[in-house]
Each structure stands twice: as structure tokens, then as C-alpha cells.
Amino acid sequence: MTPLASIADLTARGVVVSAEEEDAVNAFLATASALLRDAAGSPISETTSTVTLYGEGRRLTLPGTPCTAVSEVYEGGEPVTDYVVVNGSLWRSCGFHGPVTVTFTHGLPEVPADIVDMACRLAGQALSAFRSGDATTRAVRSERIGDYSVSYADTETGTMTLSDFQRARLAARFGTSVRTAVTR
């Protein structure tokens, strides 16, 4: 998938990327995007996917909100046409029974500005560590001058991580879990 942010997005935020750094920065942006998508439980940007879910009941919830179009549905290898799409779910009056394969388009046509910013911040931190020549240095959490003291963060700066708050926020905003609801 295309990264959620680009070198142009970094440049717009005041980060100058040299020609020699472009390959590394593109890798950082791809890694940051994968991390954000994983936490969101969604591709965030628009894509088409084919998934196989187990249907048991009238409603089959599709992963990766928002669902914008469904192009194919197969149940047990046979095409299904008697369904409707409602709020990211497939509804069928006779229900779904067994494996259901769905090809659908989902995600946002434009990546939200705050998500682009998060990807840029993660990639920028990785670029800073890359430039320092030590991609595994630990971030300083606090420092005191009188009787010198320093405290380091628990994570390495070379390892892109999200806080629990950021993960929860992304999951709440984008995430769905694959599930079925039985209605009678």
C-alpha cells in the first residue's frame, strides 16, 4: 500500500530530506504507515480487499471501515446477489451460513491531516536517529544539571512505537473487528 505520508509532507513540516536520505525516509514512512494501520485495524486510505469471513446469521460486518462499495460476494463458492450493504455490513434475509468471500472497497479517499502528521512525526524521529548514526539510542526522558542526572525512556528511539493512548485512539476511530451478529 501507498504510505500514509510522503517526503513532500515531511518537507511541508520543515524537514529537509537530502537525495541520499530519500530511500531511508521512504522506508521510514512505509514503516510508520504500517504501524498506524496496524493500530487502527484499518488500511485508513482507500483500497480494495478480498476477505473470507465466516457467516452465521443475517448480518456480516466487513473489516476496515468505511466500506464504500461491495463488488462481489460468494458463499461456499457460489455468487450471492440478494444482499444489501448497510453501515459497513452485509445484510441478507436468509442469512449467511459458512465461509463468505467478499471483495469490497473501503478506507478514506484522502488520508486525514492528523494521520499524515502522525506518520511524519514517526518518520522524522527515525530520520533524526538515522542522522545521528545511532538508530538504537534511547530517548532522554528527563535531565537535571545540578549533581548531574539523566533518565531514559523505556523505548529505543530507533524502534517506532505508539503510546497506548495513540493506539486506543486509532482503534476507536478506525478499528472494527470481524464479527457476525445473529438476528432472528
Tell me the pLDDT tens digit for each residue of 80-132. Answer: 999 999 988 999 999 999 999 999 999 999 999 999 999 999 999 899 888 88
Binned at pLDDT 50, 70 and 90, residue 177 comes out as very low
The burial of 66, by beta-carbon neighbours within 10 Å (0-12 exposed, 13-18 middle, 19 or more buried), is given as middle
Determine the Cα–Cα distance for residues 152 and 139; give it in Å rounded to an integer. Answer: 6
**134 in any annotated domain:** yes
What's the CA gap between 25 and 17, in Å, rounded?
Answer: 8
Residues 6+ apart with CB under 8 A from 167: 39
The total domain count for the chain is: 2
Mean pLDDT of the chain: 87
Give pLDDT, residue 154.
55
Which structural domain, as residue segments, surrounds residue 17? 7-43+110-161
| Residue 143: strand, helix, or coil | strand
**Residue 96 and residue 71 in one domain:** yes
Note whether 37 and 59 are same-domain residues: no
83 and 53, same structural domain? Answer: yes
Instruction: Decide if 179 is inside a domain.
Output: no
- Inter-residue contact 99 to 52 (CB < 8 Å): yes
> Is 184 contained in some domain?
no
What are the distances in angstroms from CA 59 to CA 51, 53, 169, 170, 182? 15, 12, 26, 25, 7
Is 92 part of any domain? yes
Mark whether 37 and 125 lie in a shared domain. yes
**167 domain residue, yes or no:** no
Band (151; pLDDT cuts 50, 70, 90): confident
Indicate if 97 and 123 belong to the same structural domain. Answer: no
